[in-house]
Structure 1
C-alpha cells in the first residue's frame, strides 16, 4: 500500500486503483487527496512506517472533490481537526461528493469497457457509496504556494472538474497531477498517460487544454490520482495524453 519516495520526500498510498500522497516537509506531513473510506487504516499505517505520528499530519489538500478523493476527509477533520484545502469551485462538491458534472452516462462504460469492471468493483468494495462530504477552509489560489509542509504550488488544471488543481513541487521535480492526467483510466481500464473518460470528466476539451500547465513545469515525476507514477517527464506524458484523447 505504501510506496516510499516515488519522488523525493513524496510517498504513494494506493488501494483499489486510487492514489493519495504524503508529502514530507520540515514541519510535518501533508496528505494530498483522501482516497476512499477504507483508506483510513492504510494512511495511519503509512504515517507510522515513515516514522511519524498522526499529530505530524498538518493538512489535507484536495486536487478535486470527487468521492474517491474525499473518502476519509471528514474523519480526518473530526479526529485531528485537520485543515482541508481545495479550490473555491470544489467547495460545493466537497460537501456533496456525488453531485459532479460529467459528459457521458456512467452506466455505458462497464458495457463498452469490460476490462474496467474489476477496477470499478474494487472502488465499490473500498466504500464508494459511503463517502461523507466535508467543508474545505481556505481556497487554493493558482500560482501560489500552499502554507503546508512541502509548500506545493497550485496549478489550475480544470476540466476534469471545474476547480481541479495539480500541485507542483519544483525542488522535487514533481507534479501531483490528481485526475488531470492519469496513467490508468478507471472507466475504461486503459493505461498510459491520458485524461479520465467522460463518465467522470466535466469538460474534456478544457481538460486537454489544462495539460499545458503540467507540460510547462518540465517536471520529471508525474504522480497521478490513478495508475502508476510516471518518471519520463511531463512533456512526453502530455503528448501521449493528447494523442490518446478523450474516451
Structure 2
C-alpha cells in the first residue's frame, strides 16, 4: 500500500492555487480521497495518470466532508466510473446525497444576511455555488474507529470544520490523511486548523487537530498545503 499526493493546480483570479487530494494504491486497486471543485474531474484524472496509475483500477472514493472543494466533482466521477464505491461518515452522507441541506449552506446563508453591502455579491455567489452542487447517494457510511481496506485504514472522527468530518489513519504507513482537519502553510512545518473563520465549531476543530497530532504519525497529508513529513 502506498499514499500518493496529487498536487492539482488551478487558477483563481489570475493566481495559481493548489489542492492536494490523496490517492491510495493497494493490491491493484485505487482509492481517491476527495474530488476537488466542480469541473475538477480532468485535472485529478491527469494528476493520477501522471503518477503512472490506471483509473480503471479506481474502486473507492472517500469524502472527508461536505464542502464545495471536496465533493464538487464527485458526481462526475460516479458517472464516469459507476463501479466506484463512495464512502463518507454517516453525518456527512445526508448532505452529500442532498437529503438534508448542508451545514455549509446553512452557514453561508446566515453569513450573507450579516454581510455589509459591499461583500454581499461575494456572499451571494458562494450561496449559489453551494446550491448548485450536484448530489449523489453515498454507497457506504463509516463511523469513528472503523477499519477499512483490509484493516489497513482506521477512520478517525475529526469534527469541527464540519460536524461529520473524518480523517484516515494508516498505522502501518505511519500516515494520516487529514482532509480539512489540518493544513500546512506555505513552507510550513506545523499542522494548523484549516480555515478557522469558517469552522462550524472552532473549539471542536482545535480538539480534532490535537487528536491528529497525538497520533504522532511521520506523514500527514493535508488537502490544503500539501504534506508534512516529520
| TM-score, length-scaled by structure 1 | 0.72
Indicate how the Cα distance of structure 1 residues 52 and 10 shifts in structure 2: closer, same or farther if over 3 A, else same: closer
Q: Which shows bigger deviation, 194-203 or 17-26?
A: 194-203
SS of match in other structure, 1:64: coil
Residue of structure 1 equivalent to 2:147: 145
SS of match in other structure, 1:86: strand
Indicate how the Cα distance of structure 1 residues 63 and 83 shifts in structure 2: closer, same or farther if over 3 A, else same: same
* RMSD, aligned α-carbons: 3.4
Residue of structure 1 equivalent to 2:78: 77
Residue of structure 2 equivalent to 1:245: none
Question: Which segments of 5 or more consecutive residues in structure 1 lack a partner in the other structure?
Answer: 1-6, 112-116, 118-123, 233-247
Residue of structure 1 equivalent to 2:88: 86
Aligned with residue 100 of structure 1, among 78, 99, 103: 103
C-alpha displacement at 1:184, in angstroms?
4.2
SS of match in other structure, 1:177: strand
Indicate how the Cα distance of structure 1 residues 198 and 178 shifts in structure 2: closer, same or farther if over 3 A, else same: same
The Cα offsets for residues 51-87 of structure 1, whole Å up to 9 and x where unpaired, read as 3322101110011111110011111111211111000
Residue of structure 2 equivalent to 1:167: 168
Aligned with residue 14 of structure 1, among 8, 17, 21: 8
C-alpha displacement at 1:220, in angstroms?
1.2
| TM-score, length-scaled by structure 2 | 0.77
C-alpha displacement at 1:134, in angstroms?
2.2
Indicate how the Cα distance of structure 1 residues 66 and 52 shifts in structure 2: closer, same or farther if over 3 A, else same: same
Residue of structure 2 equivalent to 1:177: 178
Residue of structure 2 equivalent to 1:46: 47
SS of match in other structure, 1:229: strand
Contact 1:66 1:93 in 2 (8 A): no
SS of match in other structure, 1:230: strand
Indicate how the Cα distance of structure 1 residues 198 and 51 shifts in structure 2: closer, same or farther if over 3 A, else same: closer
Residue of structure 1 equivalent to 2:202: 204
Contact 2:25 2:31 in 1 (8 A): yes
SS of match in other structure, 1:34: coil
* Greater RCO (CA < 8 Å, at least 6 residues apart): 1
C-alpha displacement at 1:194, in angstroms?
1.7
The Cα offsets for residues 131-169 of structure 1, whole Å up to 9 and x where unpaired, read as 322221211222122237x94211010111111011011
Indicate how the Cα distance of structure 1 residues 222 and 191 shifts in structure 2: closer, same or farther if over 3 A, else same: closer
SS of match in other structure, 1:182: coil
Give 1 or 2 for the bigger CA radius of gyration.
2
What pairs with 1:209-228 in structure 2 (closer than 5 Å)? 209-228=207-226
